[in-house]
A and B are shown apart, each in its own frame.
Chain A
């Protein structure tokens, strides 16, 4: 079955960077995209961006442009999200999700989430 397993929680200082991993199994990794969605404590879902499984294309939410990098490693079926210049407002659970495309994209499988805390 499709499974996405994310890296553990992180504690970072303001201005630092964080890299979260998402290891996929149960499907051909390169044929599906991976999306990243975050959720601040007590808040709703916020789309960060997505990347094709073969690492050929990315798309980001405007507010993260220039501050986030998405990559994939097809040899290990792992997707990565790096967020730079962290601030307290970046404290959130970060989820990866597989992007399924029928006629329109949707997120059909999700990782368990990685808590990133930004605090001095």
Chain B
């Protein structure tokens, strides 16, 4: 059981906007930054958002992140078939003195 909570699945048709939530507490998201990782089937994870809302070079601007209080969200606008993957939020947890991942959200493009 992760200290971060994500919905198990999300879906949308091509071109739609999909939003994934990540809920935590004051010991993790509330006091630390959130990163988001995309894992395509059979591949290693890849960072798509770091420090709450920063997008690494090479990541399409369709991906955006935000954080408010003890929750964060990842939005994918203009959904494309290649966005079908598992998405994980992650943060540092002060109580655990460790890095924690959310359980992951599987995004399906209908």
Contacts and interface: CB of A to CB of B under 8 A. Distances in A.
Given A44-B2, A61-B98, A102-B50, A95 B103 contact: no
Contacts of B90: 45, 47, 106
A106 B51 contact: yes
B47 A46 contact: no
Interface in A36-52: 37, 44-47, 50
Contacts of A105: 92, 99
A97 B90 CA distance: 14
A27 interface: no
Interface stretch (A11-19, A75-83, A108-116): A108-116
A88 interface: no
B33 interface: yes
Given A102-B51, A103-B51, A110-B45, A44 B35 contact: no
A59 B100 CA distance: 13
Given A62-B96, A110-B45, A110-B46, A45 B37 contact: yes
Given A45-B101, A59-B97, A104 B32 contact: yes
Contacts of A100: 50
Interface string B54-78: 1010000000000000000000000
B44 A103 contact: no
Contacts of B97: 59, 62
A97 B44 CA distance: 10
A106 B50 contact: yes
A44 B92 CA distance: 17
Contacts of A37: 45, 101
3 A-B pairs with least C-beta separation: A104-B33, A106-B50, A47-B99
Interface of B: 2, 32-33, 35, 37, 39, 44-47, 50-51, 54, 56, 86, 88, 90, 92, 96-104
